[in-house]
A and B are shown apart, each in its own frame.
Chain A
Amino acid sequence: MTSDDTILLDHGAGGKASHAMFSEIILPLFHNDQLARQDDGAVCEVPAGRLAFSTDSYVVDPIFFKGGNIGDLAVNGTVNDIAMCGAHPLYISVGLIIEEGLPVKDLQKILETMARAAEKAGVKIVTGDTKVVPRGKADKIFINTSGIGIIPEGVDVSGSRAVPKDKIIISGTIADHGMAILSAREGLEFESDLKTDSAPLNHMVKSLLDAGCDIHVLRDPTRGGLGTTLNEIAAGSGVGITLFESALPVKGQVKGMCELLGFDPLYIANEGKLIAIVPEHHASRALEIIQADQFGTDAAIIGEVTDHLPGKVFLETAIGGRRLVDMLTGEQLPRIC
């Protein structure tokens, strides 16, 4: 199998071609003991504690974009979902659904990126599956990743733990991923150097936990954006939330693009940002720790939890006005992750 080949239905049929693809392309990249054994499932050592388990599927269009591709998006996405439970992610599974005709070099590029992302996050890809479907039955490639991680003793992070007076921290600029995907789409000739913010956030979370910060809530505001995720937290914790528009970190280019296209950055997807909700007296320490992480330099305190109108999120606008931030209704941008 060489880079000039294309993926055929045979590659998903479980026969010779499947084996060739596994041993020549997949295994060398994801190399580890569990995978090399080629058993039906992976057998892994895990430390004692509570297990966090998460799954997500990726159908982003286009599959390549500035700053990454569907591969690292899929790894980082699941790593982050596990980290947001307060867990250290350990093992990941990868399911590939490939459309017949995908160039092998594209697959290689995606898998290489996945391997690198896993290494960066410190997780192992220990099991997986590949299916190939006829042309037109999928769009190039879809990826599912699932993963497990261990929650350290004494950690209790949950969307239902926000209490009035808590401070809300965002780990960096919002809406970068959604706008990067949009500008990579055909038909939208946007000249921009916007990159996806896709990144593993587990090291940042570990630093926060190691420092003994009492984190009440951790969430990564992906699809639906910051606005939707905060609404989920407000509802889950039965509290009100006030955001300060002037404190929200938004890149100039993102602001300009949203302005032109009529989007609200509060509803645009992020793939490498977290929201941490912490007690007031831990807020500045938590902010410092996040800012010290390579993916958290633009972090800021953007709001606070209140006991006013539980379940609702309000924005104090830059001009001193106040308005509701509702959940996103409908799809603002389809197939963003």
Chain B
Amino acid sequence: MGLKYIEEFRDADLAKTLITSIRQESKIPLRLMEVCGTHTMAIFRHGIRSVLPDSITLLSGPGCPVCVTAQKDIDAFVAFSRLENVIVTTFGDLMKVPGSGTTLARQKAAGADVRIVYSVFDAVTIAKQNPEKQVVFCAVGFETTIPTIAAGILMAKAQHLDNFCIHSANKLTPPALTALMETDGVDIDGFILPGHVSVITGTDAYRPVFEAHHIPSVIAGFEPVDILQAIRMLVLQNETDRPALENAYTRAVSDQGNLKAKAVMHQVFTLCDAVWRGIGTIADSGMKLNSAYSRFDADARFNLDLPEVSEPKGCACGDILMGLKTPDTCALYKRTCTPMTPVGPCMVSSEGACAAYYKYA
């Protein structure tokens, strides 16, 4: 995106006009969920909560990939780092997430070969440079990241890299929204839908959840004006009782999404059930390697036998991801759980709700 573009959507005057409209138009108390962690961070960074009327409560949703990664997946990443001749490659955010026993960061300090990468392609390059080692990539991502991971697999295949593999903890957004809407006690009046994810999925991907629940839903970009615009649309939908699935990010999101990226994703991966931290198993919400690419599956290659585990006691990440709780109501928040000594992933990830509260609130 050009820089001018960013400036335009960060336009302070336009933002102030939107804020005035929202303040005038919002009467019914509303609980709106920003599904995506990037939105959570943007909302805090721009101080958007502080300019909204008291009638609007913003809740953080399940759209932070690290936050929803199950304990067992973290344990698997750690277990790979314990194997001889294995290099574990990961996004930086995962390093400090506590597994049942330890973290990747501590494993690294103790001598394990754990390397932070910025993309799957870096991991493929590491595999190429280290033919005598096995390279495992911790695949944690949503629709924004999965096509790139698929491209990485295709690259490894083209280069005949038999020493590259992934552990897939990839997840899809729309099934999580459906699961949320079907969970008892969940009380949400509208979704601010993720911008980047929607670039890939397209608006149509949210149609099933919208048709089933008639929940006001607006796709938003990440600049203050984008977010405020989406909030205003959700206010209007609620005030006029006309729920709709709308797109406030048309400069990047189409109805069908990025067909090419989706095709690559489905060439390599297939749907599977996935465990979401704190939420549980959601049918068809994950993506595993399909049979044509299963030789890149780290789990099959190393055949780890990991025990069933439970999530850390007292950590309310699951409830927070479903909008049932806010971080400041978690008993551990700021006491035993801080960014230096995180208990749950929501405090570790740069997009986690607890980290955002700690940093900005």
Give the B-binding residues of A (Cβ under 8 A).
Answer: 187-188, 246, 252-253, 255-256, 259, 262, 264, 315-324, 326, 329-330
Known A324-B360, A329-B339, A329-B340: A319·B96 in contact at CB below 8 Å? no
CB distance from B216 to the nearest CB of A (A): 23
In the complex, chain B residues whose CB is within 8 Å of the CB of A255: 3, 6
Known A256-B6, A319-B46: A326·B15 in contact at CB below 8 Å? no
Q: Are B117 and A321 in contact (CB under 8 A)?
A: no
- B10 — nearest CB in chain A belongs to which residue? A318
Partner of B50, one of A253, A318, A321: A321
Q: Are B118 and A188 in contact (CB under 8 A)?
A: yes
Partner of A320, one of B16, B118, B338: B16
CB distance from B43 to the nearest CB of A (A): 9
In the complex, chain A residues whose CB is within 8 Å of the CB of B27: none
In the complex, chain B residues whose CB is within 8 Å of the CB of A246: 12
In the complex, chain B residues whose CB is within 8 Å of the CB of A187: 117-118, 122, 125
Q: Are B360 and A252 in contact (CB under 8 A)?
A: no
Assembled-state Cα–Cα distance A255/B10 (Å): 12
Q: Are B47 and A319 in contact (CB under 8 A)?
A: yes
Assembled-state Cα–Cα distance A325/B350 (Å): 15
Q: Are A319 and B15 in contact (CB under 8 A)?
A: yes
Q: Are B16 and A330 in contact (CB under 8 A)?
A: no
B48 within 8 A of A: yes
In the complex, chain A residues whose CB is within 8 Å of the CB of B10: 318-319
Known A320-B51, A321-B46, A330-B96: A262·B350 in contact at CB below 8 Å? yes
CB distance from B224 to the nearest CB of A (A): 5
In the complex, chain A residues whose CB is within 8 Å of the CB of B358: 326
Q: Are B118 and A319 in contact (CB under 8 A)?
A: no
In the complex, chain B residues whose CB is within 8 Å of the CB of A316: 47
A-B contact pairs, 13 of them (CB 8 A): A187-B118, A246-B12, A255-B3, A256-B6, A262-B38, A316-B47, A317-B224, A318-B46, A318-B224, A319-B19, A319-B47, A322-B47, A323-B361
Assembled-state Cα–Cα distance A87/B339 (Å): 37
B301 within 8 A of A: no
In the complex, chain B residues whose CB is within 8 Å of the CB of A315: 47
In the complex, chain A residues whose CB is within 8 Å of the CB of B228: 319
CB distance from B66 to the nearest CB of A (A): 13
Residue in B38, B340, B350 with the greatest tally of chain A CB atoms within 10 Å: B350
- A188 — nearest CB in chain B belongs to which residue? B118
In the complex, chain B residues whose CB is within 8 Å of the CB of A324: 359-361
Assembled-state Cα–Cα distance A317/B122 (Å): 36
Q: Are A323 and B45 in contact (CB under 8 A)?
A: yes
Q: Are A256 and B3 in contact (CB under 8 A)?
A: yes
Assembled-state Cα–Cα distance A316/B51 (Å): 11
B44 within 8 A of A: yes
Q: Are B46 and A330 in contact (CB under 8 A)?
A: no
CB distance from B95 to the nearest CB of A (A): 9
In the complex, chain A residues whose CB is within 8 Å of the CB of B157: none
In the complex, chain A residues whose CB is within 8 Å of the CB of B19: 319-320
Partner of B224, one of A252, A253, A319: A319
Assembled-state Cα–Cα distance A221/B228 (Å): 33
In the complex, chain A residues whose CB is within 8 Å of the CB of B340: 329-330
In the complex, chain B residues whose CB is within 8 Å of the CB of A322: 47, 50
In the complex, chain B residues whose CB is within 8 Å of the CB of A264: 45
In the complex, chain A residues whose CB is within 8 Å of the CB of B44: 323
* Given A259-B6, A318-B12, A323-B361: 6 more A-B contacts, CB < 8 Å: A319-B19, A319-B47, A319-B48, A319-B224, A320-B51, A329-B338
CB distance from A31 to the nearest CB of B (A): 43
B242 within 8 A of A: no
Residues of B17-68 at the interface with A, using a CB-CB cut-off of 8 Å, are: 19, 38, 41, 44-51
CB distance from B326 to the nearest CB of A (A): 16
In the complex, chain B residues whose CB is within 8 Å of the CB of A253: 3
In the complex, chain B residues whose CB is within 8 Å of the CB of A319: 10, 12, 15-16, 19, 46-48, 51, 224, 228
Known A252-B3, A318-B10: A326·B360 in contact at CB below 8 Å? yes
Residues of B280-323 at the interface with A, using a CB-CB cut-off of 8 Å, are: none
Assembled-state Cα–Cα distance A323/B48 (Å): 9
In the complex, chain B residues whose CB is within 8 Å of the CB of A188: 118
Assembled-state Cα–Cα distance A252/B125 (Å): 31
Partner of A321, one of B6, B38, B51, B338: B51
In the complex, chain A residues whose CB is within 8 Å of the CB of B361: 323-324
CB distance from A264 to the nearest CB of B (A): 7
CB distance from B349 to the nearest CB of A (A): 11
Assembled-state Cα–Cα distance A259/B358 (Å): 21
Partner of A323, one of B3, B47, B338, B339: B47
In the complex, chain A residues whose CB is within 8 Å of the CB of B45: 264, 317, 323
- B13 — nearest CB in chain A belongs to which residue? A319
CB distance from B346 to the nearest CB of A (A): 14
Residue in B19, B47, B361 with the greatest tally of chain A CB atoms within 10 Å: B47
Partner of B360, one of A320, A323, A329: A323
Assembled-state Cα–Cα distance A315/B44 (Å): 11
Assembled-state Cα–Cα distance A268/B84 (Å): 37
Q: Are B46 and A317 in contact (CB under 8 A)?
A: yes
CB distance from A227 to the nearest CB of B (A): 10
Partner of A330, one of B47, B48, B339: B339
Assembled-state Cα–Cα distance A316/B50 (Å): 10
Q: 5 closest Cβ contacts across the A-B interface?
A: A321-B47, A319-B15, A329-B339, A317-B47, A323-B47
CB distance from A302 to the nearest CB of B (A): 16
- A261 — nearest CB in chain B belongs to which residue? B118
In the complex, chain B residues whose CB is within 8 Å of the CB of A321: 46-51
Assembled-state Cα–Cα distance A318/B46 (Å): 8
Assembled-state Cα–Cα distance A322/B44 (Å): 9
Assembled-state Cα–Cα distance A315/B48 (Å): 12
In the complex, chain A residues whose CB is within 8 Å of the CB of B359: 324, 326, 329
- B51 — nearest CB in chain A belongs to which residue? A321
- B16 — nearest CB in chain A belongs to which residue? A320
In the complex, chain A residues whose CB is within 8 Å of the CB of B41: 262
